[in-house]
Amino acid sequence: MLGVFLPAVALTLGAFSYHPLESDLKLDIKSIAASDSQLPAELQSADVRVPNFTYTIQKGDTLSTIFEMLDVGQADMYQVLESDVSILALDTLKPGDQLSFWLHEGRLEQLELRFNPAHQVVFTRADQDTFEYEDVRVEGEWREEVVSGEINGSFYVSAKRAGLSAAEIQKISSLLQDKLNFRRDLRAGDSFQAVRATQYVNGEPTGQTRLEGLRILNRSRELTAFSFEGQYYDLNGDSLARAFMRYPTRGKYRLSSRFNPYRKHPVTGRVRPHNGTDFATPIGTPVLATGDGVVTRVTRHPYAGLYIVIEHGQKYRTRFLHLSKALVRKGQTVSRGQKIALSGNSGRSTGAHLHYELHINGRPVDAMKAAIPVADGVDKDDRMAFDAQRDRLLEQMEASTRQG
Ligand SMILES: [Zn+2]
């Protein structure tokens, strides 16, 4: 289902239990290429050190088989996995990504995961038992281009013909779905322009793109979207973010414990805030994203169990704890109402339930009572910056229609 890359064994990492998902990956042993490890010693130091092995992930691979083949001990792999618990980068490896190994006397010294030229995660041995990780992200350069076209057939077909990807078309539809019925409202001869930014690092495309601006001319109507500080707004600076759902489930479940920042521990009497709302959901209940957003974390914690974090723009964040199964992965875009997980009883939990949190500007609030977002506008202080950004993007779109 997902590009999950986990060892084919169940791991126990101290207090963490690690239950790998089923993997359909298989290993092609011959494709491992040993690089030249016979370099002069001075070349093996500092930043010119060449890895002992570089390997491109293929469908069918698992981490344990790769380690086994390189004759790197399982203990080393477990140490890397322990470090990975905080970042869960290994979970996101997919075919085409690259692994580089630096070995010293048969032990792993460093492991680099290269997802693309703009993103690497490097695990480096800190001592006998532990690795530290570094999440290396290169901003590189974003080059903008205008993609424009006319409606002829469906929006999907027309946009695809103009050069937009399926993911970009999906994004456009979800941005404007409250304002435009893509199936019924568009007519032949309507037109659209999108400003797309593509990321380059050292002249090499990373595969990452961003939709910066959009305009659809629908008969006499003009529909617009402009990216500004992580959110999309229309021409007037009104937010295109959609409202949140109050409940993270399809049906309503008994509320077994409310949000309570002053809750006291029954035994110790110490204040132990309850930063979320608990619902008495049986194990396996579908858990839904309450707003459009991006999954920033799918992880396990000795107390929180399996949990998911979703960022909804820069202001709002939701968290879902004690899950039994995640149906999304880190980095994935989700829309309001999308099934993201199954509830459970994982971590330190007194019974099957879903613990749901809503954070505003980094602080947990009562998700049952908070003023949940209804299309905010651009902040007053940001108005001039937004106008400048909008006008710059519009100018590009205008220029492209004059040329075309
Ligand atoms: Zn709770």
* CATH code for position 311: 2.70.70.10
How close is the Cα of 117 to the center of ligand 1, in Å? Answer: 40
- Ramachandran class of 379: left when φ > 0, alpha when ψ lies in -120 to 50, beta otherwise: beta
How close is the Cα of 371 to the center of ligand 1, in Å? Answer: 20
Give which of 162, 234, 231 is closest to 191, Cα–Cα: 162
Q: How far apart are CA 359 and CA 66, in angstroms?
A: 40
How close is the Cα of 274 to the center of ligand 1, in Å? Answer: 6
Question: pLDDT tens, 204-228?
Answer: 999 888 899 999 999 889 999 999 8
Q: Residue 42 sits in which domain range?
A: 11-137
How close is the Cα of 273 to the center of ligand 1, in Å? Answer: 10
Question: What pLDDT does 367 receive?
Answer: 93
Shared domain for 59 and 124, answered yes or no, is yes
Shared domain for 260 and 334, answered yes or no, is yes
How close is the Cα of 276 to the center of ligand 1, in Å? Answer: 5
Question: What pLDDT does 177 receive?
Answer: 79
How close is the Cα of 337 to the center of ligand 1, in Å? Answer: 21
In the chain (404 residues long), the average pLDDT of successive 10-residue segments reads: 35 31 33 41 54 92 88 90 70 88 93 93 91 87 96 95 91 84 92 96 90 94 90 88 86 92 73 87 97 89 85 84 95 90 90 93 86 72 94 94 74
Question: What pLDDT does 155 receive?
Answer: 95
How close is the Cα of 40 to the center of ligand 1, in Å? Answer: 58
How close is the Cα of 268 to the center of ligand 1, in Å? Answer: 18
Question: pLDDT tens, 183-194?
Answer: 899 999 999 999
Give which of 234, 119, 250, 121 is closest to 179, Cα–Cα: 234
Q: Which residues contact 7 (CB under 8 A, 6 or more apart)?
A: 20, 62, 63, 64, 77, 81
User: Residue type for 371, please?
Assistant: A
Domains in the chain: how many in total? 3
Shared domain for 188 and 146, answered yes or no, is yes
How close is the Cα of 368 to the center of ligand 1, in Å? Answer: 13
Q: How far apart are CA 205 and CA 141, in angstroms?
A: 9
Shared domain for 99 and 15, answered yes or no, is yes
Question: What pLDDT does 94 receive?
Answer: 87
Residue 4 in domain? no
Residue 3 in domain? no
Residue 131 in domain? yes
How close is the Cα of 275 to the center of ligand 1, in Å? Answer: 7
Q: Which of 82, 103, 137 is the last residue of a domain?
A: 137
Residue 249 in domain? no
Shared domain for 205 and 237, answered yes or no, is yes
Question: What pLDDT does 402 receive?
Answer: 80
In the chain the first and final C-alpha atoms are separated, in Å, by 42
Q: How far apart are CA 362 and CA 404, in angstroms?
A: 46
* Residues 80, 130 contacting (CB under 8 angstroms): no
How close is the Cα of 321 to the center of ligand 1, in Å? Answer: 8
Shared domain for 394 and 284, answered yes or no, is no
How close is the Cα of 327 to the center of ligand 1, in Å? Answer: 21
* Residues 32, 70 contacting (CB under 8 angstroms): yes
How close is the Cα of 130 to the center of ligand 1, in Å? Answer: 32
How close is the Cα of 267 to the center of ligand 1, in Å? Answer: 17
**Residue 201, domain CATH:** 3.10.450.350
Shared domain for 74 and 172, answered yes or no, is no
How close is the Cα of 302 to the center of ligand 1, in Å? Answer: 14
Shared domain for 325 and 391, answered yes or no, is no
DSSP state, residue 231:
E
How close is the Cα of 245 to the center of ligand 1, in Å? Answer: 19
Q: Which of 82, 116, 137 is the last residue of a domain?
A: 137
Decide: helix, strand or coil at residue 208.
strand
**Packing angle of the helix pair 166-176, 155-162 (nearest 10 deg):** 130
Shared domain for 15 and 131, answered yes or no, is yes
Question: What pLDDT does 292 receive?
Answer: 86
How close is the Cα of 375 to the center of ligand 1, in Å? Answer: 28
How close is the Cα of 359 to the center of ligand 1, in Å? Answer: 14
Residue 349 in domain? yes
Q: Show the tokens assigned to 48.
A: 């010119």
Q: How far apart are CA 234 and CA 55, in angstroms?
A: 45
How close is the Cα of 343 to the center of ligand 1, in Å? Answer: 13
Shared domain for 154 and 265, answered yes or no, is no
Residue 115 in domain? yes
How close is the Cα of 278 to the center of ligand 1, in Å? Answer: 5
Question: What pLDDT does 22 receive?
Answer: 30
Shared domain for 118 and 41, answered yes or no, is yes
Residue 375 in domain? no
Q: Which residues contact 224 (CB under 8 A, 6 or more apart)?
A: 213, 214, 215, 216, 234, 235
User: Residue type for 246, please?
Assistant: R
How close is the Cα of 318 to the center of ligand 1, in Å? Answer: 13
Shared domain for 217 and 259, answered yes or no, is no
Q: How far apart are CA 22 and CA 341, in angstroms?
A: 16
Residue 371 in domain? no
